[in-house]
A and B are shown apart, each in its own frame.
Chain A
Amino acid sequence: MELGSRQVNAITVVAPKGRIDHAQAPLFQEAMKPHVAACTINGGPLLIDFSGVDYISSMGLRALMLIARSVTAQKGTVAIAALKPTVREVLEISRFHLVFKVYDTVDDGLIALGA
């Protein structure tokens, strides 16, 4: 999976695109690996820009959980921003909004993370 990534001061913004379904979830997880590895207590925060994500399945959500776990273990900071309305609903129904900080827009996330 292609992950567009950019740097805003210390913050890494990654932007997955399309559907994170059962087929794509492992690829999303793999593509996220270097960014997750860099998101430590000393590295900068990681902001996942969801504006290009149309759908996320349980497998995709599980991948998000693994990301949250790794980052927490490294004492890093990860957040999600700019979810499409139905994707946000799925996060709430699955209770993943309790796992991640979710910001309405990428800019909101950048400000909150101290850009």
Chain B
Amino acid sequence: MKVRFWGTRGSIPVSITAKDVRAKIGAALRVARDRAATGEFPGNDVEIERFIDDLGFSVSGTYGGHSSCVEIETGNEDAANEHLLCDMGSGVRAYGQRMMERYGPTRPQTYHVFMSHVHWDHIMGFPFFTPVYIPGNRIVIHGCHAELEFAFKRQQAAPSFPVDFSLLASNIEFDVIAPGETRSVAGITVRNLKQHHSGDSYGWRFERAGKSVVYSTDSEHRLENAEETQLFVDFFHNADLVIFDAMYSLADAVSVKADWGHSSNIFGVELCQMAGARRLCMFHHEPAYDDSRIDSVLAETRRFEEITREASALEVLSAWDGLEIVL
């Protein structure tokens, strides 16, 4: 299995600004200046690429600003025309473009979308997902919310959008799954777990051929509820990858932002350690955080994992638009 992130920002899409770009260029040039003083200034293109790699991600790259959208490439040859996706935040627009480049308008595909919930940041990309306009495509929207269909249709109803849902040319189905029910989709076993969030949300666990990935976003953890914690430990058990809502610091999550429906890096590490998971990928980044802030949260979270490690190491990552993880 391969996981590809198309949108990783929480609550609302954000974009880096001219000021941010200027700061990155300035930081890069200052490093180059210091290198030039020691005679190590990058000369040819290979050296320039290496120089960029050495700058650090918050200078050479960006975590990106699209709201939640994650692709799960199943690797199942028997279902090569079936695609799995979690949520349809603004990141799904670029995903749709990639699929159009790959398959064009004449090779119909099936897209299985698993919805954490129907808050706006998780559905807003749907009207910009080009495959929904192409006849022959099949879009199956899976979720545990009874309002699934209503939420998608309302988003596109006048006066909020020019094209009504009824005019979409693909075959769109809504599949309301009971909480706790296990499904087999495109050769993948899919389980869900109800999470604490305004209007409820659901985590999804995907398994195939001994590999497993958990998508658990927009999920607040009430630390005092030991039974609830155990449900998540079981749900994350031995997962190869846990994609986790680490939007807030622990101090904020248990005080001023309690009941806002999100979790922290600290509890993400603790849950994954208790569950014996292999990788934690922090997700649903706070829109107020810039690249260097997310970078330092990542460094601190890795340090926390190191301090608290008892058994085997947990790899800690921070999701960015474009990140691929091979399981």
Assess whether B249 is in contact with A86, with CB atoms less than 8 Å apart: no
How far does the alpha carbon of A95 sit from the alpha carbon of B304 in the complex, in Å?
12
- Least distance between B233 CB and chain A CB atoms (Å): 11
Assess whether A93 is in contact with B303, with CB atoms less than 8 Å apart: yes
- A-B contacts counted at CB < 8 A amount to 53
Contacts of B270 in A (CB 8 A): 57-58
Contacts of B249 in A (CB 8 A): 94-95
Chain A positions 81-102 with a Cβ under 8 Å from a chain B Cβ: 86, 89-90, 92-96, 98-99
- Least distance between B101 CB and chain A CB atoms (Å): 42
Contacts of B229 in A (CB 8 A): 22
Contacting chain B: which of A5-13, A39-47, A61-69, A104-112?
Answer: A61-69
How far does the alpha carbon of A61 sit from the alpha carbon of B251 in the complex, in Å?
8
How far does the alpha carbon of A99 sit from the alpha carbon of B252 in the complex, in Å?
10
Assess whether A69 is in contact with B255, with CB atoms less than 8 Å apart: yes
- Residues A61 and B304 in contact in the complex (CB < 8 Å), given A94-B249, A94-B264, A95-B249: no
Closest residue of chain B to A96 (Cβ to Cβ) is B251
Q: Does B307 contact A (CB under 8 A)?
A: yes
Assess whether B301 is in contact with A61, with CB atoms less than 8 Å apart: no
- Least distance between A10 CB and chain B CB atoms (Å): 27
Contacts of B266 in A (CB 8 A): 58, 61, 90, 93-94
- Least distance between A53 CB and chain B CB atoms (Å): 13
List 17 A-B pairs, Cβ < 8 Å: A58-B223, A58-B270, A61-B250, A61-B254, A61-B266, A62-B254, A65-B254, A69-B255, A86-B307, A89-B304, A90-B266, A93-B265, A93-B301, A94-B266, A95-B249, A95-B250, A98-B251
B-to-A contact residues, CB < 8 Å: 223-224, 226, 229, 249-252, 254-255, 264-267, 270, 300-301, 303-304, 307-308
